[in-house]
Structure 1
Amino acid sequence: MKKLFLTLLIISFISCKDTKKETVIEHSEAHLNTVNNAYPENLQNVFEAHGGLDSWKTQRFLEFTMLKEEGDEVTRTNLRTRASHIETPDHAIGFNGKDVWLLNKGDKAYTGKPKFYYNLMFYFYAMPFVLADEGIVFKDAEPLVFEGERYPGIHISYQSGIGGSPEDEYILYYNAETYKMEWLAYTVTFFTNEKAKELHFRRYNNWQDVDGLLLPKTIVKYKYENNLPTTENGETVFAHIKLSKEQPNDVLFEIPEGAEIIE
């Protein structure tokens, strides 16, 4: 078994108002993690409320379908390498561990950004477990108050060079009694590579049990103002969820004939 090396750095600083902890998690092997006690206690509780990080780490493959009027979208991901394959009626997008590729199946051109999208919905869907990835910095966040309910928060940022958008920031808000994830606030920096101040919001309060793990049944996008959610702005419905402890065949993620490698 490969040894995993962990550097755990806790930096505490005291201001005139409060004290906050910042925890940095590093790993020598991508996307594999150490025991749960490497993480802040509140995040450990969130993992446990969703079935446990140890259980998640036994999985090798995830597939989910997003139900859409224009045609369903199927995402398949190797949970170890994060190789991915997204299939829609008109296009396929993939990542083979090295290159992002795009296949147009017909005359309808893809108008999005494949390098931005190839792992976007996987990352949203695999919350909160993707927050156990390497190079993440945790600290407490101010609670979110929405419609009279108060949700404690965990702020997430990334060390330099981690991922395609290391300037991204997230805040996970959880139920103070059950520790189930309730909200995700996040910035979008892919297009600018600069720190963003504007928070976007998605709500997670509809979960389904998949092999003992709680994964989203729906995620609701919200409009926002002054870095707070306001009203619903569309719902994504997930179906046909598959988890497997078997390693997926790499052929699934290979660049198909006729596909374009995205530079």
Structure 2
Amino acid sequence: MYKMIKASKLLGLFLVLSFVACKETAKKESASTTEVETAEATYNIPDSWIQKRVDAANKRLSATEAGKVLWSAMEAHGGLENWYSNGYFSFHFDYKPLNGKGIRDSYQTIDTWSNKARHNSITDPSNTYGWDGEEAWVKAKDSTSFEYDTKFWALTPLYFSGQPFVLDGEGVNLELLPEVEFKGTLQKVVKATYDAGVGFAPDDYYILYINSETNLLDAFKYIVSYPEYFPEGGHAPEKITVVQGTTTVDGIVLATGFKTYWSAEAKDGLGEYITDITVSDISFSPTVEDNFFSKPEGAKVLND
């Protein structure tokens, strides 16, 4: 839980943007001479709801030293209120293990308010999968379209690109760890764990490195304990992911890439470099198509 995009991938991304994640009411995009019109649903979350949720998070986080550090990071990244007010969060997440196995390359749109997701393959945007808040689903031409667990991956990229905002909710337990020096800069360190039953992998944890000068996230450690991968319990070895540049989109500071390493007793805790991630085409939008996150006709529901 990247190289420059080739021309064929750019075409795939164009199709995703044109036919899937529409950004304007009654929008028309032309791939050649064909015009497409779409009906759209508005991100209609009342400001009072957003303010209530932000106030509750602020009160909860302000009660502990770890929470105060996390809140400061959220503020530095643009603020939790802005995060929820911006609407649907879309981005191209190109996840490339250096061994060539388990490549995951999709354009996705996330409802940050309710954690719903829809992905489209970059190579063939007609192959899609998602999470509607209750069920995971996939619609693909054949079993080779997505050679990975799409149920697990539906929201996983959000836990890279959505840090530190994704740790605001109830059921998240925070612990302030001793400060460390990382890449020459002192880091405040916050560990996040989950209550039992929270998410698909409640035994996961994240250890955030928050720059003591900027309050921005510089890196985070994590484990994968997804029960489908570890039915007898346990987890994969700890990894550390390092932010590779940032951009500001609609007031939110977001990473444009990550490098992931195995954790090790080496300088800065960086072991073998194992995965390169590029994040591009980042945007927020107040609209998506009607029933955008729902299982489309012909899709398969992924049961536990």
2-structure distance, mates of 1:82, 1:239:
20
Q: In the alignment, which of 250, 259, 273 is matched to residue 232 of structure 1?
A: 273
Alignment partner, residue 36 of structure 1:
58
1-structure distance, mates of 2:176, 2:143:
49
1-structure distance, mates of 2:86, 2:183:
37
Q: In the alignment, which of 109, 114, 124 is matched to residue 76 of structure 1?
A: 109
Which segment is superposed worse, 84-93 or 101-110? 101-110
- The normalised TM-score by structure 1 is 0.79
Alignment partner, residue 172 of structure 1:
208
Question: Aligned pair count?
Answer: 237
Q: Structure 1 254/170 Cα, relative in aligned 2: closer, same or farther at 3 Å?
A: same
Residues 150-177 of structure 1 deviation map (CA, whole Å, 9 limit, x = unaligned) = 3220010111211111111111111111
Q: What does residue range 188-203 of structure 1 map to in structure 2 within 5 Å? A: 188-190=224-226, 191-192=229-230, 194=233, 196=235, 198-203=237-242
Instruction: Flag structure 1 segments of 5+ consecutive residues without an equivalent.
Output: 5-28
Shift of the alpha carbon at 1:51? 1.0
Q: In the alignment, which of 74, 81, 84 is matched to residue 54 of structure 1?
A: 81
Residue type at the aligned position of 1:232: Y
Shift of the alpha carbon at 1:44? 1.5
Shift of the alpha carbon at 1:82? 1.3
Alignment partner, residue 8 of structure 2:
none
Instruction: Flag structure 2 segments of 5+ consecutive residues without an equivalent.
Output: 1-45, 62-66, 97-102
Q: Secondary structure of 1:253's match?
A: coil
RMSD value over aligned CA atoms? 2.9
1-structure distance, mates of 2:138, 2:54:
28
Alignment partner, residue 261 of structure 1:
301
Greater fraction of residues in helix: 2
Q: Structure 1 147/238 Cα, relative in aligned 2: closer, same or farther at 3 Å?
A: closer
Residue type at the aligned position of 1:48: E
Alignment partner, residue 105 of structure 1:
141
2-structure distance, mates of 1:235, 1:197:
18
1-structure distance, mates of 2:236, 2:274:
20
Q: Secondary structure of 2:147's match?
A: coil
2-structure distance, mates of 1:71, 1:114:
10
1:32·1:80 contact (CA, 8 Å) conserved in 2?
no
1-structure distance, mates of 2:70, 2:132:
31
User: How high is the sequence identity, in percent, across the aligned residues?
Assistant: 23
Shift of the alpha carbon at 1:258? 2.5
Residue type at the aligned position of 1:36: N
1:60·1:243 contact (CA, 8 Å) conserved in 2?
yes
Alignment partner, residue 242 of structure 1:
283
Greater fraction of residues in strand: 1
Q: Structure 1 169/100 Cα, relative in aligned 2: closer, same or farther at 3 Å?
A: same
2-structure distance, mates of 1:34, 1:57:
14
2-structure distance, mates of 1:247, 1:82:
16
Residues 124-180 of structure 1 deviation map (CA, whole Å, 9 limit, x = unaligned) = 111111111221111112334444443220010111211111111111111111111
Alignment partner, residue 24 of structure 1:
none
